[in-house]
Amino acid sequence: MKKRLSFQQNLLVGSLLFGLFFGAGNLIFPVQMGQATGSNIMPATIGFLITGVGLPVLGVVSSAISESESLYDMAKPISSGYAILFTCLLYLTIGPLFAIPRTATVAFEVGMHPFIKEEYLKLGLAIFSFIFFAFTLYFSLRPGKILDLVGKYLTPIFLILLSILIIATYAKPMGQINQFSPQGNYINQPLFTGLLDGYNTMDALASLAFAIIIISNVKKLGINNPHLIAVETCKSGLFSIICMSIIYTALVYMGATSLGSVSRADNGGIILSMVSEHYFGFIGQVLLAAIVGVACLKTAIGLITSCAEMFSKMFPNSISYRNYTILFTFFSFIIANFGLNNIIQLSIPVLMFLYPLAITLILLSLLNPFIHKQKDVYRWTTGLTLIAAFFDLCKALPEPMQQNLAVKKIVGIAHLYLPGFDYGFGWVLAALIGFVVGLIIWSIRRKSTIVNVDTRH
């Protein structure tokens, strides 16, 4: 049995990690964050990299350490019911509720928005998303070489074009970072705001769903011991971490300096398009639009097929893979027509709820060699985290919903009694308390079992 992968094999797995995590949609958030950070770019970027890059790799490693075959298997120590519910919520979030509709709207914002008059934007989005999802459905129902061919040629072209744009940003900056003041929460809480912005990539959630792909590929290369799989995944993850960190940092810098030449925009797709036009004119804008459009299409096809496969496996006696594919594609089309800004706004409360649960599951799985999937530890940690995450969800609801009297009372209670809530991390103390309580109960039960055994003898 092999004990380690070669450098080339680590590089191969690292490339796969990068390809799974970095889609065209990941471009828009660091650019938009850059425009808002101003002179506080450093702490905000560090926060973004922790949750946008570090957590996804830890998610894959935790799955290997806990010897989990799927997200359901990973969450099962809590309970079978919770595992099913959490798996469904997570796949729907990285699928038809938010991530898949976002692929169409990002492609539209980068590729079509600049060429359409404001009064025709809704009609333009409807037509574009219909064509986009028609192609998505066609290829999702016929998964084959098309994905490999598109990924094989598209990703290098996409990275080359992006590299040219990034190099231009550094060679001839549009402005100076220090001349722009931070906006909103970036004024006083740049690090914590950056941490929360990293949630928007949804990569930590996706890592729990896609970990099995990475692990199976490491096994195919001859590594079968769970500990060694985790070690080799960490080593391979370094490549992904370095690449993603470089790109994200450069994109934040691009956004921060862009204000010297382009205006502020509601989302990163528009900013990216304006920057491309600034440096390369109309031709550069069109080329970027084409590349991002096909990249988003590839991402949509991959997410549709992954979600349809998971639901057809979890509920084999209900709907077929084909019907799930059609259902998810149609639903994604409907959601996409709410527009990119609305999709992002609606996704934030869900992400504020799911991310604490995902992070604690990752950390518990990483501790598996010591806690051995002990149910009390899993249940208490998750239970208290869930309560605190609900408060975060309420706080992140759209403004009209926050005016509801019940929501106001819930948020008010959290402000008073939940340390860290104001920063979006009220769940941390709750999770820690739950973990300690779970350990104490486990210890008491273990001692009781030992005493009973001794008594019988």
Nearest 5 degrees, angle CA 58-CA 230-CA 368? 75
Per residue in 351-392, pLDDT tens? 999 999 999 999 999 999 999 899 999 999 999 999 999 999
Res 259 pLDDT > 60: yes
* Section 68-97 average pLDDT: 94
Q: How far is CA 111 from CA 101, 246, 255, in A?
A: 16, 24, 18
Show the DSSP H helices in 172-202 as ranges. 190-197
* Section 275-303 average pLDDT: 85
Rounded Cα–Cα distance for residues 16 and 349 (Å) = 30
Cβ atoms of residues 19 and 243 within 8 Å: no
* Section 230-256 average pLDDT: 90
Residue with token string 């799930």? 324
Q: What is the DSSP string of 275-332?
A: HHHHHHHHHHHHHHHHHHHHHHHHHHHHHHHHHHHHHHHHSTTT--HHHHHHHHHHHH
- Rounded to the nearest angstrom, the gap between the alpha carbon of residue 222 and the centroid of all alpha carbons in its chain is 29
Res 450 pLDDT > 70: no
Under the banding of pLDDT at 50, 70 and 90, the label for residue 92 is very high
Res 145 pLDDT > 60: no
Global pTM reads 0.90
Rounded Cα–Cα distance for residues 274 and 254 (Å) = 11
Residue with token string 């209670």? 413
Burial of 381 (C-beta count, 10 Å sphere; 0-12/13-18/19+):
buried
Rounded Cα–Cα distance for residues 201 and 346 (Å) = 14
Contacts of 203 (CB under 8 A, 6+ apart): 21, 26, 52, 53, 55, 56
Q: What is the CA radius of gyration of the chain?
A: 23
pLDDT computed for residue 143 by the predictor: 60
Cβ atoms of residues 422 and 193 within 8 Å: no
Per residue in 183-214, pLDDT tens? 999 999 999 999 999 999 999 999 998 888 88
Q: What is the mean pLDDT of the chain?
A: 89
pLDDT computed for residue 81 by the predictor: 95
Q: How far is CA 74 from CA 62, 215, 254, 292, in A?
A: 9, 14, 38, 34
Rounded Cα–Cα distance for residues 93 and 351 (Å) = 8
pLDDT computed for residue 142 by the predictor: 76
Rounded Cα–Cα distance for residues 212 and 209 (Å) = 7
